[in-house]
Amino acid sequence: MILVTGGAGYIGSHTVKELLRIGYEVVVLDNLSQGHREAVLTPHFEQVDLQDQKAIRSIFKKYSIDAVIHFAAFSIVGESNLLPHKYFNNNTKNTLQLLDTMIEFGVLKFVFSSTCSIYGNPEYVPLDEKHPIRPINAYAESKRMVESILEYYNNAYALKSVRLRYFNACGADLDGQIGESHDPETHLIPLALKVAKGEKPHLNIFGTDYPTPDGTCIRDYIHVTDLADAHIKALEYLKSASGESITLNLGTGSGYSVKEVIETCREVTGHPIPTIEITRREGDPSVLVAQSQLVKDKLNWIPKNSNLKTIIHSAWQWEVNRRF
Ligand code: UDP
């Protein structure tokens, strides 16, 4: 049985779907503060808050858990600097408690959702895993602290982990069963599609004076099903005899500008998507693109759906036929 925390959330629910498809048994733990009950595709669901260690321990007693994939976290960068308490308590302290419970029950395989934002403002791109770690917000710091704890827990308690540093997750399940649903929504692609759908009058472009070819930020967009697939491969890596703890970038290696993304949204949807160019959003580096050779080599992973048109097409299908 695999325990997936945050399995009612965006990336978590897509990973659960893939785990079930290939025959794993899955129990989802989620407090539904941001996730959706409809997105939980396994019959084993525990509505529990991560801070409730007693409840977490009873889940470890109830199920025979082989490994944990840990998604549950807060992830809004701007909010994290205003409410660091919320981020350090949930993302760091509650994760530490979860790790301690795992050790208590002898569960020693852990797949962790980390983030490319722990690199801070890039000194060079594409970013490889050796790039200096310099978080510039409480969200990234909360994740860096867990990466660091995992190093010590690996050495002291043989807790083996794969730390996946995500780039920009996007897109939706190709069957249309689940998709992205955040409240508030802050991400570029779903916001652009809400404008295309007529739900919002225009899209703000945050900054057109970046040192990039068209002046807008460049990001590495990775389809959520490719992310999900990497988690399964990380789990299988940990099960293999050579599964030593490892940290991997999870991006495609290709970057697109904000304007390129919006133009592709226009092409895919056939709608105009009016934009307003405003000032930069605080804390946005100009370019974030992964050097992704290591994840390809170590996990034998290749992105299959991360072509920008496929991403936007799947997100559009979801946007017009949303189930939650
Ligand atoms: N962005 C934008 N307008 C929006 C939302 C995002 O111009 O309404 C830009 C943002 O500044 C960044 C890129 O789109 O350069 C991707 O932002 P998103 O919030 O989707 O992901 P992030 O890179 O912050 O994880």
DSSP 136-180: -SHHHHHHHHHHHHHHHHHHHH--EEEEEEE-EEE---TTSS---
Beta strand 256-257 pairing with 246-250: unpaired
Which atom in ligand 1 lies closest to the alpha carbon of residue 205? 7
The pLDDT of 14-35, averaged and rounded, is: 98
149 in the same domain as 134: yes
Structure confidence at residue 232 (pLDDT): 98
14 in the same domain as 141: yes
CB of 275 within 6 A of ligand 1: the answer is no
245 in the same domain as 127: yes
Pocket test for ligand 1, best of 113, 180, 206 (most atoms within 8 A of CB): 206
Counting residues of the chain whose pLDDT is more than 70, the rounded percentage is 100
Residue 152's domain spans which residues?
Answer: 2-170+221-250
Using the predicted structure, report yes or no on whether residue 242 has a pLDDT greater than 90.
no
Pocket test for ligand 1, best of 188, 193, 208, 209 (most atoms within 8 A of CB): 188
274 in the same domain as 202: yes
149 in the same domain as 91: yes
Using the predicted structure, report yes or no on whether residue 212 has a pLDDT greater than 90.
yes
Dist. CA 187 → ligand 1 center (Å): 6
Asked if 111 and 234 touch (Cβ cutoff 8 Å), the reply is yes
277 in the same domain as 236: no
Residue 70 lies in a domain: yes
CB of 28 within 6 A of ligand 1: the answer is no
Chain segment 84-102, per-residue pLDDT in tens? 999 999 999 999 999 999 9
Residue 47 lies in a domain: yes
Residue 179 lies in a domain: no
Chain segment 243-298, per-residue pLDDT in tens? 899 999 999 999 999 999 999 999 999 999 999 999 999 889 999 999 999 999 99
210 in the same domain as 91: no
Residues with catalytic roles: 139
The pLDDT of 129-133, averaged and rounded, is: 98
The pLDDT of 25-53, averaged and rounded, is: 97
Provide the domain count of the chain. 2
181 confidence band (pLDDT: 50, 70, 90)? very high
Counting residues of the chain whose pLDDT is more than 90, the rounded percentage is 97
The pLDDT of 136-144, averaged and rounded, is: 96
Residue 213 lies in a domain: yes
311 in the same domain as 228: no
The pLDDT of 54-63, averaged and rounded, is: 98
Q: How far apart are CA 202 and CA 204, in angstroms?
A: 7
230 in the same domain as 82: yes
Residue 297 lies in a domain: no
Q: How far apart are CA 113 and CA 135, in angstroms?
A: 16
211 in the same domain as 233: no
CB of 188 within 6 A of ligand 1: the answer is yes
How many CA atoms lie less than 13 Å away from 111 in the CB half-sphere? 31
Residue 225 lies in a domain: yes
Using the predicted structure, report yes or no on whether residue 151 has a pLDDT greater than 90.
yes
Q: Give the CATH number of the domain where residue 267 resides.
A: 3.90.25.10
Give backbone dihedrals phi and psi of 41, rounded to 5 degrees, phi first: -100, -5
270 in the same domain as 233: no
Dist. CA 311 → ligand 1 center (Å): 16
55 confidence band (pLDDT: 50, 70, 90)? very high
